[in-house]
Amino acid sequence: MQTLSPPTTTIPTPIKTPTRPAHRLTATPLPPSQLTVRCAASPQNGAVGGTRADWQSTCAILSSKVFTSEQNDNTTGSKPSSSRDEITTVNGHRSLDLVPIENLPKPLTTDLSPAPMHGAQLRVAYQGVPGAYSEAAAGKAYPGCEAIPCDQFEVAFQAVELWIADRAVLPVENSLGGSIHRNYDLLLRHRLHIVGEVQLPVHHCLLALPGVRKEYLTRVISHPQALAQCEHTLTKLGLNVTREAFDDTAGAAEYVATNRLRDTAAIASARAAELYGLQVLADGIQDDSGNVTRFVMLAREPIIPRTDRPFKTSIVFATQDEGGGKGTASLFKVLSAFAFRNISLTKIESRPHRNRPIRIVDDANVGTAKHFEYMFYVDFEASMAEPRAQNALAEVQEFTSFLRVLGSYPMDMTPWSLSRSDDH
């Protein structure tokens, strides 16, 4: 039985800057972690199967086209080994072809809801600074956790991989701005698993230094999506200001407060105003009151799927490279595998294949045409403990060159309302 052990990577001390807290994790080139998975067969109430063999059989689908967790360290110029399971790299990983199930470790785990093994407070990484919406999402997902701010999304992934954090809570889509593509790419690049989701209403405020009036402002700074989500309201307020993009909403508030900028306002949460001593010039300035961001909870190992509550499963796949314009037919066949079993899709999105972005197709009539190759991200409402989900993915494998289950996890069924309390 393989065991999971943390890498021995030395963790660099974060460098304090005038506009960032000293304890915030910053981006530092780190060697890739080599993670393995361990088998766990302890039965749980509501979980599928009561024995190790039952659960291994249930998870066979998850193993059939998983690529290796090892990554090339491009900075050191290391060469890939000659293992038969290693093929071309895609988004930092190898092996896109079918790998026999018996040659792979079973992706089994225990339920991850209890406190971490070290007995300390649960540590949850998020992108941004204190007061960010991601921090609020981390607190909603894991009440009472120790939130660890990271300056980049990838640093949050690395924090979990290197055991600096136990979980990460990161945004994947917004009801107005759409998907956060960077995190979808990172889900494919890193070997973390989605173990839950949380939806957070977004309540924007216009913040400035105490005593500053709106007519004194010459610019407004915030995250690009926040600026776009408040565009019409800012116009209605009669503000003749320039709008400048910033890394994140709370970071913009911190920047205004730290540099004592009396001509600049920030769009952020009410909690950010409290943390950085700013006043709220305008409350609830988002153009749409139904502005909600969906976050996913990430862990080093997956959770055992269950059938006693609604589950969602996230996958990513690439259709078979078929000539003669059959790529569309393959996608149709993949989607039909879910339709025939009455499995509802809640999301489908394509992303260009990073390491194989262009496919050349020869056509005698029109010459040489270039087509993008895509990875498809799909969320569907079913648990991997259900036979219909297992059978659907078994059929999907027949029409894909690559398939990976990102996670099978409980759906966020908590009702929400737009209120100031959502920011805290």
51 catalytic, yes or no? no
Greater confidence (64 vs 205) lies with 205
Greater confidence (179 vs 361) lies with 179
- What is the Cα–Cα distance from 361 to 285, expressed in whole angstroms? 49
- What is the Cα–Cα distance from 124 to 132, expressed in whole angstroms? 14
Who's near 233: CB < 8 A, 6+ residues apart? 282, 285, 286, 287
- What is the Cα–Cα distance from 25 to 398, expressed in whole angstroms? 42
- What is the Cα–Cα distance from 79 to 155, expressed in whole angstroms? 24
Predicted pLDDT at 208 = 97
Predicted pLDDT at 377 = 95
Greater confidence (388 vs 42) lies with 388
Distances in Å between the alpha carbon of 145 and those of 138, 163, 220, 275, 410?
8, 15, 32, 18, 19
Marked catalytic residue, from 58, 249, 264, 293: 293
The residue-averaged pLDDT of 100-127 equals 54
Q: How confident is the model at residue 190 (pLDDT cuts 50, 70, 90)?
A: very high
The percentage of residues in the chain with a pLDDT greater than 70, rounded to a whole number, is 63
| Statement: residue 20 has pLDDT above 90 | no
Greater confidence (49 vs 192) lies with 192
Predicted pLDDT at 103 = 37
Residue-wise pLDDT for 197-232, tens only, equals 999 999 999 999 999 999 999 999 999 989 999 999
Residue-wise pLDDT for 249-300, tens only, equals 999 999 999 999 999 999 999 999 999 999 999 999 998 888 899 999 999 9
The residue-averaged pLDDT of 153-174 equals 95
Predicted pLDDT at 374 = 84
Which residues of the chain does CATH 3.40.190.10 include? 113-198+293-300, 205-290
| Domain 205-290, architecture per CATH | 3-Layer(aba) Sandwich (3.40)
CB 208 within 8 A of CB 252: no
Taking domain 304-410, whether its CATH number is 3.30.70.260 is answered by: yes
Residue 254's beta-bridge partner residues?
none
Calculate helix-pair angle for 181-189, 153-161, nearest 10 degrees: 30
242 catalytic, yes or no? no
CB 39 within 8 A of CB 106: yes
Marked catalytic residue, from 295, 338, 376, 399: 295
Predicted pLDDT at 370 = 53
Predicted pLDDT at 254 = 96
Q: Which amino acid is at 141?
A: A
| Domain 113-198+293-300, architecture per CATH | 3-Layer(aba) Sandwich (3.40)
Which residues of the chain does CATH 3.30.70.260 include? 304-410
- What is the Cα–Cα distance from 263 to 245, expressed in whole angstroms? 16
Nearest residue to 52 (alpha-carbon basis) of 121, 113, 110, 135: 110
Average pLDDT, the chain: 75
Predicted pLDDT at 24 = 63
Predicted pLDDT at 327 = 57
Predicted pLDDT at 133 = 96
